[in-house]
Amino acid sequence: MQKSVRYNEGHALFLSAVARKEGTKRGYLSKKTAENSRWSEKFFALYQNVLFYFENEQSARPAGIYLLEGCTCERTPAPKVSTTGKEALEKQSTFHWC
C-alpha cells in the first residue's frame, strides 16, 4: 500500500535549500519542456528521494520537484547528432528513470 506524501510550499523551499547545499548530486541536466517538446538545460539537486530543478544555479526557488519513490535510473548513451559544420556530441549521456 502506497502512503501519501504531503508537501506545502514551506517544506518544498526548505528541502530545496538543503538539496542545493547538501544534496547527493547537483548539476545541470537537460529537461524536455511540455509545451514545445524542446530540451532546455536546468540545474538539478537530488536530496534523498526528491529531485528538485531550478531555472539556473542562482535560482532561490525550485521550478519543479520530482518524487523518485520506487523509481530506478539508468544511464544510456545520447544519440549522435550529425549537423553540417558542427561536431557530433559523442560523450554526452542521457538519464532515464521510471
C-alpha span between 35 and 25 (Å, rounded): 27
The per-residue pLDDT for 89 is: 42
- Rounded to whole angstroms, the Cα distance separating 69 from 13 reads 19
- For the chain, list the domains and their CATH numbers: 9-70 (2.30.29.30)
pTM (whole model) above 0.95: no
Spatial separation of the C-alpha atoms in residues 15 and 61, rounded to whole Å: 11
State the pLDDT at residue 88.
40
pLDDT reported for residue 1? 52
pLDDT digit of tens for each residue in the chain (98 aa)?
A: 556 667 788 888 888 888 888 878 888 888 887 777 788 888 999 988 888 999 888 888 998 888 888 877 677 776 666 555 444 443 444 554 54
- Write down the pLDDT at residue 79: 65
Pairing verdict, β 64-67 and 93-97 = unpaired
Contact 44, 51 (CB under 8 A): yes
Q: Which three cell numbers stand for residue 6?
A: 504531503
Q: Which residues contact 77 (CB under 8 A, 6 or more apart)?
A: 93, 94
